[in-house]
Amino acid sequence: IKDTDTSAGNASANKIVCDIISFADMSDPISVDIVSQKGFTIKNNANDVDAKAMLYRNGEELDAAGTTYTYTWKLWNSAGTSVVKTYTGKTITVSKVDVTGKGVLMCEVSK
């Protein structure tokens, strides 16, 4: 972009500048909620954790059957430095044997 404004005091007159511009369609954003009927805590190595990705647009649930989008889950170690296990599907079960101490669960949704 070249600034062609030569008004007095315009320090950027006749200079060329570059920038990165990103576009995002925020008119119909999709939000992802991760829910669990049992909760997200494994206590005393006694239970597994169920997790489900719920997609919403304008308050309406999308992909209730889990067939329109692809769901890729990653269980990270507590430091967030390595992936312990990868899962796929709208609903998953994280086994208590896969979590040592704490873990971080992330879900990526794609189409």
Q: Average pLDDT for consecutive 10-residue bins of the chain (111 residues)?
A: 68 64 69 88 84 92 96 91 94 91 90 88
User: In the chain, what are the domain boundaries?
Assistant: 31-110
CA geometry: angle 83, 87, 91, nearest 5 deg: 135
Please tell me the pTM assigned to this model: 0.71
SS (H, E, C) the chain: CECCCCCCCCCCCCCECCCCCCCCCCCCCCEEEEECCCCCCCCCCCCCEEEEEEEEECCEEECCCCCCCEEEEEEEECCCCCEEEEEECCEEEECHHHCCCCEEEEEEEEC
